[in-house]
Homo-oligomer: A and B are copies of this chain.
């Protein structure tokens, strides 16, 4: 079985491409190109015109937006199965976000033509994309509320729980996705020093343990209570 073909790609099960017909999928597969992206490399930049979407086969990318004060706000972390750049292609706008790999990645670039024609002809696919976007919008609403109503401490606690739930742990009990302290700060929207300070505090309190950049969750219950505001 040729795993480089979309038809045989497991990742597809997780995203809206599964609603494509056999013929459509064949067309997509014929037009796509595979890319390997090293950790730290950009996939696309804010303001760039996207000629297609990126389907993540492996690895994780941060989607961020530069704010006026020069800091990057990470809006989302996209991993296996997620399609990046959909929003911009659908709205026919330049990208509002930058995408940079936070781990080595394997992605497929799908030119927008095959996407847009399917969007116009296959209601099932369009509806599937719509459902995904509805979900993303809900998540975005939740992020807005968390950002504006929770303290930095709560947001960091929540971020660790999020990382565990979405990316899991390695064999040694550390979070499988290792982010730099700066990236963690940019996820929760705070200064790097503040993030580091709170991480130290969590460590002292036995909520987490660390080894270099790696972070492991020690007391999930307490972390959750903290995130909820108790």
Chain A contact residues (Cβ within 8 angstroms of B): what range? 35 or more
Kindly state the separation between the CA atoms of A130 and B131 in the bound complex, as whole angstroms: 9
Q: Contact partner of A147 among B131, B142, B148, B228, CB < 8 A?
A: B148
Kindly state the separation between the CA atoms of A189 and B229 in the bound complex, as whole angstroms: 17
Q: Which residues of B contact A122 (CB under 8 A)?
A: 123
Contact mask A141-175 → B, CB, 8 Å, 1/0?
A: 11111111110000000000000000000000000
The answer to whether A113 has its CB under 8 Å from any CB of chain B is no
Q: Which residues of B contact A138 (CB under 8 A)?
A: 87, 91, 93, 96
The answer to whether A207 has its CB under 8 Å from any CB of chain B is no
The answer to whether A20 has its CB under 8 Å from any CB of chain B is no
The answer to whether A9 has its CB under 8 Å from any CB of chain B is no
Residues of A at under 8 Å CB distance from B? Answer: 65, 67-69, 71, 73, 75, 86-87, 90-91, 93, 96-97, 119-124, 126-127, 129-131, 133-138, 140-150, 188-190, 228-229
